[in-house]
Amino acid sequence: MRVAVYYNNRDVRLEELAKPEINAGEVLVKVYASGICGTDVMEWYRIKKAPRILGHEITGEIVESKTKRFKLGQRVFVSHHVPCNACKYCLAGNHTACEVLHTGNYYPGGYSEFIRVPAINVDRGIYILPDAVSYEEGTMIEPLACAVRGQRVAGLKKGQTVLVMGSGVSGLLNIQVAKLAGCRVIATDVSAYKMNKAKEFGADEVIDAAGRIHVKADRVIICTGAFAAVEQAFRCVDRKGIIIFFAIPDRDISVPIVDFWRNELTLLSSYGAASVDLEEALELIKDKKIDVKKMITHVLPLEKIQEGFNIVSEARESLKVVLKPHIS
C-alpha cells in the first residue's frame, strides 16, 4: 500500500509499505479521508521523531474485522489516542494525561491507504459515522473535540467574554463552540482572509493582531504559535481570568508574576480530547450545530501530500486540507 513518510515539512515522500495484517480483536480500516493537522507542520515538534508516518484525523471503511463489535462495510471515525480508563488520571476524569493515551496509536498512521486498529482502540476509539456526516466532515471530529475539551476544562459560561487569538482552523472551531455556550467572542489574526473567516463563523468582533489589542476577556484562548500572542494574552485577560494554551509557541514563556499574583490569573493547557469530547463533537457535526464543511478548503489525493503540507505551513488563504488516499 502507499504511505506518506514525513522527513520534514519540505520533504514528505510517497513510499510503499506492506498492508497491515490484523490480529484478534482488531480491524483493518480503508482510509477514505485524512486531515492535515496544524501540529503536523510544527516542524520543531515533529522532526524529533522523523522519519515517520503522521496523520491522526481519519475516517474510512472497515474492510477486515476480527471482532464481533464491528462488521465489514461500516463507515467509521477512528481515534488515534485512547485512555486506559484505569489509571489515577483516568479515574479522576483526566483522561488526556493517561500514559496509555500518550503512547498508543493505530498503525502505521493516517497518511496511508489502510490502518490496523489495535484492540484497545477498537474497544474505545471507533465511532460509527452517521449517514449525514461525510468522510471529509468526519476528519473534523478530533479537532472539534479538542476545542470542546479545552473550553470544558476552562469552564466557559454564558455571558462571558472570550478572546480567541488566531483564527485558523482551531480558532474558528473555538469561536463556534464558545458562541454555542452563549459567550461574546472577540477574535484576532494578522491575516485579512482569516479575520474575514472569523466574522463569517460567528465572532462578534474581529481585531487585527498586528496592533495593540485593548480588550479585557474572562477567557483567552491562544490558538496560534505566535509568541506575540502570549504577551498579548497577559495584557488582555481580566482579573480572575483564565488563559488557555490551546496552541503553544516554540520556546518557553515568561509570566508577568506580579499581575499573575495580584489578579489571580489561571494558566491552563489543553492537550487532545477524551471519549466524552469526541462523542459530543460527532453530535455537533451530525446536528449541523458546528459548520465544519465550509472549513474544508482543499481536498487532495495522497500523492499531493507535499502540496498539502505547503498549503498548511504557509497558512495563507486556506483552512482545512483533507487528503483522499484512494483518489488520484
DSSP 147-205: HHHHHHHTT--TT-EEEEE--SHHHHHHHHHHHHTT-EEEEEES-HHHHHHHHHTT-SE
pLDDT for res 327: 81
Torsion sign, CA atoms 155, 159, 163, 166: positive
Ordered structural domains, the chain, with CATH: 2-143+272-324 (3.90.180.10), 155-269 (3.40.50.720)
Whether residue 274 has pLDDT greater than 80: yes
Residue 219: band (very low, low, confident or very high) from pLDDT cuts 50, 70, 90: very high
Residue 298 and residue 312: Cα distance in Å, rounded?
Answer: 10
- Mean pLDDT computed over 91-100: 96
pLDDT for res 328: 65
pLDDT for res 23: 97
- How do residues 22-34 score in pLDDT, each as one tens digit? 999 999 999 999 9
Q: Report the DSSP beta bridge partners of residue 320.
A: 296
Q: Report the DSSP beta bridge partners of residue 305.
A: none
Residue 182: band (very low, low, confident or very high) from pLDDT cuts 50, 70, 90: very high
Whether residue 106 has pLDDT greater than 90: yes
Provide the whole-model pTM.
Answer: 0.96
- How do residues 286-300 score in pLDDT, each as one tens digit? 999 999 999 999 999
Whether residue 158 has pLDDT greater than 70: yes
- Mean pLDDT computed over 197-221: 97
Main-chain phi, psi angles of 267, to 5 degrees? -110, 125
Asked if 221 and 245 count as a contact pair (C-beta separation under 8 A), the reply is: no
Cis ω on the peptide bond leading into residue 51 (within 30° of 0)? yes
- How do residues 69-90 score in pLDDT, each as one tens digit? 999 999 999 999 999 999 999 9
**Cell numbers that stand for 85 in this block:** 480508563
